[in-house]
């Protein structure tokens, strides 16, 4: 009787062990059944902010003389910008930088034999930041008119920005998620399965490139500032459970 009972207990233990192992294997097998897809979303948009700037300088033997001439240029530049419809709130003049100049003399071997002080060079910078893009674009092309007043202003290339990037990124993520789900559903359907819940989702690189411009995508994300018309793109890698 005791031997028979022991046999029953052993049999039950084996059945329980097999059941546990079977469920564990089934769980492992099920958890391994996933579909990994990458959703993509793109959107064209127009910049809503332009930044343009330039530098101007004056040379003189006396520091005060150079500074006075530079301040006169600053006043003239500001008046010119105002005449083009640029408000004071959009104009920023940076602090003045100073450099001492020296005229060096050399011997036959190319060694410096003498270094004479030749004056000071003071440089100022002006920056215009505005939402009136066309107005500033025109200004950047016509700024050479200051040469007629004896002001040598080196104009920089305008830069273009978008002030609603956060909203744009959220919209792109939503569309990338929809694209990823559509891809996963197609794969699952063609495999005779159905799509389950999301196991994991990782956002890819956020890229801003010039529209219709041959730019190379950067691993760390590109951020175009030279084009007014831009294209934003984002990827989203998603792992789905398969049922």
Written as tens digits, the pLDDT of the chain (243 aa) is 545 544 555 444 444 444 544 444 343 444 458 899 999 999 999 999 999 999 999 999 999 999 999 999 999 999 999 999 999 999 999 989 999 999 888 878 878 888 888 999 999 999 999 999 999 999 999 988 898 888 989 999 999 999 999 999 999 999 999 999 999 999 988 888 888 889 999 998 899 999 877 776 666 678 899 999 999 999 999 999 988
Beta carbons of 119 and 58 less than 8 angstroms apart: no
pLDDT in tens, 106-125: 878 878 888 888 999 999 99
Give the total residue count for the chain. 243
33-46+164-242 and 50-161 agree in CATH topology: no
Give the domain ranges of the chain: 33-46+164-242, 50-161
CATH code, 33-46+164-242: 3.30.110.170
Integer Cα distance of 176 and 225 in angstroms: 24
pLDDT in tens, 198-230: 999 999 889 999 987 777 666 667 889 999 999
CATH code, 50-161: 3.30.70.2970
pTM, two decimals, is 0.78
- Pick the closest to residue 229 from 215, 241, 213, 216 (CA basis): 213
Please give the pLDDT value at position 27. 39
């Amino acid at each position: 009787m005791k031997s028979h009972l022991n046999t029953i207990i052993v049999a039950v233990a084996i059945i329980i062990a097999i059941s546990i192992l079977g469920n564990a294997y089934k769980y492992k097998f099920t958890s391994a059944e996933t579909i990994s897809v990458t959703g993509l979303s793109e959107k064209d948009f127009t910049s809503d902010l332009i930044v343009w700037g330039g530098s101007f300088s004056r040379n003189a033997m006396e520091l005060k003389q150079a500074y006075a001439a530079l301040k006169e240029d600053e006043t003239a530049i500001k008046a010119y910008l105002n005449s083009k419809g640029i408000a004071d709130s959009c104009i920023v003049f940076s602090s003045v930088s100073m450099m001492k100049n020296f005229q060096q003399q050399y011997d036959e071997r190319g060694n410096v034999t003498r270094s004479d002080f030749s004056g000071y060079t003071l440089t100022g910078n002006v920056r215009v930041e505005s939402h009136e893009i066309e107005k500033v674009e025109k200004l950047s092309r016509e700024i050479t008119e200051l040469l007629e007043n004896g002001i040598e202003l080196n104009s920089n290339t305008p830069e273009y920005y978008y002030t609603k990037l956060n909203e744009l990124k959220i919209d792109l993520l939503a569309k990338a998620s929809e694209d990823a789900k559509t891809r996963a559903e197609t794969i699952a359907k063609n495999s005779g399965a159905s799509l389950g819940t999301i196991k994991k989702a990782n956002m890819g690189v956020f890229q801003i490139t010039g529209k219709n411009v041959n730019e190379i995508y950067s691993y760390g994300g590109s951020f175009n500032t030279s084009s007014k018309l831009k294209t934003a793109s984002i990827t989203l890698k998603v792992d789905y459970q398969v049922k």
